[in-house]
Amino acid sequence: MRRLMAVLRARNLEFVRDRSSLGWNIMLPILLVLGLAFIFSGTQRPMFKVAVLTEGDLADELHPFLNTQYVDFFPVADEDRYRVRLGRHQVDMLLDLRQAVPRYWINTQSAKGYFLDKLIRTDPVPGLQGGTVTGAEIRYVDWLVPGVLGMNMTFSALFGVGYVIVRYRKSGYLKRLHATPLTALEFLLAQVFSRLMLIMIISSGVFTATNAILDFPMEGRYLDLFLIAALGAVSMIALGLTIASRVESEELAGGLLNLVSWPMMLVSGVWFSLDGAHPWIQTAAQIFPLTHVLEGARAIMLDGLTLSDLSYNVGALVLMSVVFLALGAGLFKWAPD
Amino acid sequence: MTSRQPVLTVDNVSKRFRSLEAVRGISFSVNEGDCFGLLGPNGAGKTTTVEMLEGISIPSSGRVRYRDGPLDGRYREAAGIQFQSTALQDYLTVREHLRLFASLYKHSLPIEELVELCALGEFADRDARKLSGGQRQRLLLAISLVNDPDVLFLDEPTTGLDPQARRNFWSLIRGIKGRGKSIVLTTHYMEEAYLLCDEIAIMDHGRIIAEGTPDALLAQHFRDVVLELPKDDFPNTGAPHRWTMLETERTVEILTDDVNGAVRWLLEAGASLARLQVRPRNLEDLFLELTGRELRP
């Protein structure tokens, strides 16, 4: 324990004194908060953009379609220019209200154009009955923020630890440590705890600051959210250690870390829900720690579940942490060949 | 000296890296309190040998014993190592490095004692990245002494140091020897080996080609001395065949055991002896004699 604490302390001192690295680790989350606050604060964002050719001001009375919600209507004068922009998917529809009989154009290759076409031609369906649901409103941002925090955590865990280990190995520092009684497991655990402290301090700070601006729903307990995030961070740091366990060059380490991190970003549900995705993608996503962190965090925040309700995700993260750490320690190489 | 107990015993040790046999069945022992010098040209197998002695690398065959036991956890606590080139953790001061390494051992010397022993006081609170070459080597020496080791390994510790820093380092090593430590030293500086080592082994092509005390090895291989003259002062007539002659770019060396005869011949040939140097053969001569003068690839 004394050896582990000594290496942990030295690593923390190195990190805190490396101003540029520390600065970037603080700046990136601040930029994330500002970016999220800018994009998602205020009213609901419109889903469609419609350029309207009109002689005068744009008034709702000009055409009933202009009353449609979640559509951004804006007046334009240059028809040719906006036909080009429509072709390039920069607007979703061009509506001409200059004549007595309105005309419109859509891009046949645009999904949004397809729906706008359906909307503008809507006729009541005889006998069709509609209903509404009520409940706590979940905005996209409420769903997205755990994903963005998880992504930040992933990059910090994988690259922050992986690169450091490879740098230590390449420079011969690991070889020097190997000449002491320090064991591979002690060294690796020190790296895990050091990075875990950093990730949890920064993630908690970003969550608190973003929450102050965007006011997320929190149906579950903050302690559960903290614990699942910490467990996820440990498993991802351990994954980074495993990847870096034998690598001798930063270039190869970068390639391997990207090879793992990008598929994880895409299929773990950072940006969009995996509901409806191909079953094998949903199955493949289960091998990534980030999937379990995000499923767990969203279930705690949005559905009020507790850790005991999330035993599958918690178990998967514990298992991954143990397996990755054991692999990392077993494969660990102190010095280049 | 030889009655002392061996601290390390190397018994028919070999090391292969795929098709390359870097070390080929070497045997020797390092006695308690001795400074044992391992010399040899680049690629001779010194570093591979030392790494096996340090326990960093496992022999392909043969065995290395520490006080009649294996190189186990007990040995890790008892060995102090200064590698040829060691990186340290960034952003830590000299004192913080010593504290870090001291914490890795069960038993360690007080930090202030190490600071004093290795003359680190002036820069003990300086970031280790900002040390000069000599200061850095002293810090690495202090780190290797942090566990008050029974055996100390110094792998080319003065390479790249200026003459002043090198001499300063030598006096530190003498101080450490005075504390009864056994030392294994590799070096390319023959003067260093001669001054510090009680026993040396010269390696080439993975084998030990000579072993003994420096004086015994010199006595065993040389009976002659060297008379050295600048080329300009050397007679044009050429020397008698009974003497071995060595020409360098600026000097001519006569290797002879008949100094009077050689001086007499030089005077008779009209040579100016104002710049004549007479010196006994040294370890460098022995090294070149045994390993050859040609440039190694």
| Residues B123-141 pLDDT 10s | 999 998 898 888 888 899 8
| pLDDT for position A126 | 66
HEC letters along B115-156: HHHCCCHHHCCCEHHHCCHHHHHHHHHHHHCCCCCCEEEEEC
Look at residue A267 and tell me if it is in a domain. yes
Residue B1 has pLDDT above 50, yes or no: no
Domain range for residue A91? Answer: 48-120
Looking at per-residue confidence, does A115 or B161 come out higher?
Answer: A115
Give the phi and the psi of residue B215 in degrees, each rounded to 5: -65, -40
Q: Are residues A188 and A308 in the same domain?
A: yes
DSSP element (H, E) containing B228:
strand B225-230
- A172 and A64 assigned to the same domain: no
Position with higher pLDDT, A292 vs B219 = A292
Report yes or no: A162 and A240 within 8 Å, Cβ to Cβ: yes
- For A86, the token pair is 């429509």
Residue tagged 């004194």 (tokens)? A17
Give A-chain residues touching B105 at CB under 8 angstroms. Answer: 180-181
The bridge status of strand B225-230 relative to strand B251-256 is antiparallel
The domain boundary, picked from A93, A120, A147, lies at A120
The answer to whether residues A78 and A176 belong to one domain is no
* Mean predicted confidence (pLDDT) in B279-283: 81
Residue with the bigger pLDDT between A276 and B277: it is: B277
Are A239 and A324 contacting, i.e. CB atoms less than 8 angstroms apart?
yes
Strands B151-155 and B79-82: parallel
Higher pLDDT, A47 or B293: A47
Mean pLDDT for chain B overall: 86
First to last CA, chain B: 38
Q: Given A62, A92, A120, which residue is the final one in a domain? A: A120
A184 and A327 co-located in one domain: yes
* CB-CB under 8 Å, B87 with A173: yes
In the structure, what pLDDT confidence band is assigned to residue B79 with cuts at 50, 70 and 90?
very high
Distance of alpha carbon B209 from alpha carbon B201, whole angstroms: 7
Nearest by CB: A172 against B73, B86, B105: B86
The rounded distance, in Å, linking the Cα atoms of B56 and A29 is 42
Q: How far is A224 from chain B (nearest CA, A)?
A: 35
Q: Cβ A18–B90 below 8 Å, yes or no?
A: yes
- Give the distance from residue A3's alpha carbon to the nearest chain B alpha carbon, in angstroms: 5
| Calpha distance A132→A148 (Å, rounded) | 31
Please state the separation of Cα B244 from the chain's center in Å. 29
Q: Which of B196, B221, B208 is nearest to B286 (CA)?
A: B221
Residue B180 or residue B97, greater confidence: B97
A178 Cβ under 8 Å from any chain B Cβ? yes
CB B87: neighbour CB atoms within 10 A? 16
The answer to whether A181 and B77 are in contact (CB under 8 A) is yes
User: Among A59, A85, A120, which residue terminates a domain?
Assistant: A120
Q: Model pTM?
A: 0.75
Q: Quick check: A22 contacting B, CB < 8 Å?
A: no
Q: Take residue A276 and report the two structure tokens written for it.
A: 């409806």
Question: Residues A280, A188: one domain?
Answer: yes
Of B89, B92, B103, nearest to A2 by CB-CB distance is: B103
Q: Are residues A66 and A20 in the same domain?
A: no
Residue A222 lies in a domain: yes
Residue B2 has pLDDT above 50, yes or no: no
Do residue A26 and residue A149 come from a single domain?
yes
pLDDT (tens digit per residue) in A218-240 = 888 999 999 999 999 999 999 99
Looking at CA atoms only, how far is residue B267 from chain A in angstroms? 58
Residues in A closer than 8 angstroms to B73, CB to CB, are 181
Is the same domain home to A291 and A151?
A: yes
Test A6 with B77 for CB contact under 8 angstroms.
Answer: no
Q: Contacts of residue A5 in chain B, CB cutoff 8 Å? A: 103
C-beta atoms of B56 and A178 within 8 A: yes
Same domain, A210 and A306: yes
pLDDT of residue A321: 94
Say yes or no: A270 and A309 in one domain. yes
Does A210 lie in the same domain as A91? no
The count of structural domains within chain A is 2
Tell me the C-alpha distance between B90 and B82, whole Å: 18
What is the CA angle B286-B292-B297, rounded to 5? 135
DSSP B93: B
What is the distance between the alpha carbons of residues A214 and B183, in angstroms, rounded to a whole number?
A: 66
Domain assignment present for A127: no
In this structure, is the dihedral angle defined by the CA atoms of residues B240, B241, B242 and B245, taken in order, positive or negative?
positive
Q: For B54-78, what is the mean pLDDT?
A: 90
What is the reported pLDDT for A263? Answer: 86
Residue among A169, A173, A176, A186 with most chain B CBs within 10 A, to mutate: A176
Within-domain flag for A83: yes
For the record, the structure tokens of A165 come out as 């280990």
Q: Which position has the higher pLDDT, B65 or A280?
A: B65
Low-confidence ranges of chain A (pLDDT < 50): none
CA-wise closest residue to A7 among B200, B283, B97: B97
For residue A130, tell me if it sits in a domain: no
Residue A148 within any structural domain of the chain:
yes
Indicate if A71 and A202 belong to the same structural domain: no
User: How near does any CA of chain A get to the CA of B6, in Å?
Assistant: 22
Task: Find chain A residues with C-beta within 8 A of B77's C-beta.
Answer: 181
Question: For residue B241, with 0-12 CB atoms within 10 Å meaning exposed, 13-18 middle and 19 or more buried, which class applies?
Answer: exposed
Q: With cut-offs at 50, 70 and 90, classify the pLDDT of residue B249.
A: confident
In a domain, A298, yes or no: yes
What's the CA gap between A248 and A333, in Å, rounded?
A: 9
Please write the tens of the pLDDT for every residue from B224-244.
888 888 988 888 776 676 778
Number of neighbours of residue B27 by Cβ within 10 angstroms = 12
Is position A126 within any domain? no
* B contact test, residue of A17, A167, A180 with most B CBs within 10 A: A180
